[in-house]
A and B are shown apart, each in its own frame.
Chain A
């Protein structure tokens, strides 16, 4: 009976993930002719990690936009004088904060295309491995160093622009879903250097890792998930574990993020996918907005 609940819940979530993927990637022709979408919707953000140079994407990546705004020449000076092209950083920060304070890492579990990709890769039959929890803090380091501090402060040339360092040296979503399709569509146009090969190798390693471990990038590396996770500790929507919990551990077994939700209902790792609620034999776990629970 609970397996059916789990299966149905999984189907609903998968349907939402695919719908979100399609709705945010309507420019399908871009994959064929190697172009990107140039319409006005790209002033708005996708609730997930998805490069705005992905040929089909019709929205902008919140992380990429944040970095490029912070990296603008004289960003801090412009912000201090209230210039509109710096003030617009509030829209990215507000977007990320809105989703995070509303429902934590909910978008990771239901909307993010790269999360969906990892979910699908894990279904490929292979030996499956556990995950070293001591890797999890890496995503906070990447958030603070590569997404925030370096783009905002590092200027190799005085008075010049900074760089979007997370996009530039790490992001596997950009490499796999933007770099590879664009380069393959027009191989003669691009000169490929060290960064391309380095990032491609990292992307391939992460994709392979995702076959053997569930959502390894989400667990260890995603700066967006890291931000949402921190906000999820105080989000309006949260997971609740009732006193009827019998500590059987089934929730941890099905959890894509490998959390013992019954011990840590407010975990900053939780992507709110609801699998735990579906599998719980006593129905102790639920989505809720109520407060006053032990975190």
Chain B
């Protein structure tokens, strides 16, 4: 039996082309990146950045603008390659299972870190985050914040923010402030009526939508807007590409509106 070491080594090298090829196909196919959880995992990834800029995107599955910008983030990540680290931190979903189901239907290519409500609060205070999502932070190679975006941004903004972090320049933010409220609930629920009234005060007669989950058409619209399927009646306030967490009473809605300004 001669030179058995050769087939043995070749066998062990099988994952090499598999891993290298999947690096490329990740760009093309809709595959999920890693799913981690906990502040420890978040800090691990930050520490592993090793002098590269880091883009941290805080989001939640119920935040439409957040979800819509995830593919944009992935494109930016593809462009930047290994020169920067991209992370989507879910700080708005109390249950990991919500996130897991979400990823099954909507693959997210960049790595995702889920934080439970306690950890999310801690991270929110570490980075001084308000209640609104999405928030994107760009940190430079030394871990210092060079840009912050409240609300969704486009490909050009993200790319220049990351490249700016590499070179030390700051990126500009976009402005825009159209208020929109989604009210979700049953049509004959007095709580809904109160929310609708508050919505009209805040956003004007054209600025809100009422959706009844029991109506198929509305339910489809809810899915398209990434609104939570449970927990109604609620109202979700969005403005300028960012959204607040859903709230249950008119008082909370007014407070959310004040926070947003």
Q: Do A and B come from one complex?
A: yes
Chain A residues at the B interface, C-beta cutoff of 8 Å: 35, 72-73, 132, 134-138, 141-142, 145-146, 150, 156-161, 163, 165, 168-170, 186, 188-191, 194-195, 198, 202, 220-221
Which of B5-13, B176-184, B187-195 lies on the face that meets chain A?
Answer: B5-13
| B4/A134 in contact, CB under 8 A | yes
With contacts A160-B83, A188-B37 known, what are 16 further pairs, Cβ within 8 A?
A134-B2, A134-B4, A138-B5, A138-B8, A156-B82, A157-B23, A159-B83, A163-B19, A168-B19, A169-B15, A186-B37, A189-B35, A191-B34, A198-B15, A221-B8, A221-B12
Asked if B124 is an interface residue, CB under 8 A from chain A, the answer is no
| A141/B38 in contact, CB under 8 A | no
Known: A73-B50, A141-B9. A160 touches B81 (CB 8 A): yes
Contact with A along B14-53 (1 / 0, CB 8 A): 1110111011000000001011111011000000001010
Q: How far is the CB of A44 from chain B (nearest CB, A)?
A: 19
Asked if B96 is an interface residue, CB under 8 A from chain A, the answer is yes
Residues of B within 8 A of A160 (CB): 81-83
Sample 16 A-B pairs with CB under 8 A, ordered by A number: A132-B1, A134-B5, A138-B8, A138-B12, A145-B9, A156-B23, A157-B23, A157-B81, A157-B83, A158-B81, A160-B82, A170-B12, A189-B35, A190-B35, A198-B15, A220-B5
Complex-state Cα separation, A157 to B16, whole angstroms: 15
Q: How far is the CB of A149 from chain B (nearest CB, A)?
A: 12
Residues of A within 8 A of B8 (CB): 135, 138, 220-221
Complex-state Cα separation, A43 to B32, whole angstroms: 34
| B41/A132 in contact, CB under 8 A | no
| A137/B34 in contact, CB under 8 A | no
Complex-state Cα separation, A96 to B19, whole angstroms: 29
Asked if B118 is an interface residue, CB under 8 A from chain A, the answer is no
- Interface size for B (C-beta < 8 A) is 31
- Which of B5, B14, B19, B38 lies in contact with A137, CB distance below 8 A? B5
> Which chain B residues numbered 83 to 131 have a C-beta less than 8 Å away from chain A?
83, 96
| B16/A135 in contact, CB under 8 A | no
In the complex, residue of chain A having the shortest beta-carbon distance to the beta carbon of B9: A141
Q: How far is the CB of A146 from chain B (nearest CB, A)?
A: 8
Residues of B within 8 A of A191 (CB): 32, 34-35
Residues of A within 8 A of B83 (CB): 157, 159-160
Known: A156-B20, A169-B12, A194-B18. A161 touches B4 (CB 8 A): no
Residues of B within 8 A of A35 (CB): 40
Known: A134-B5, A168-B19. A189 touches B36 (CB 8 A): yes
Known: A72-B50, A134-B2. A142 touches B12 (CB 8 A): yes
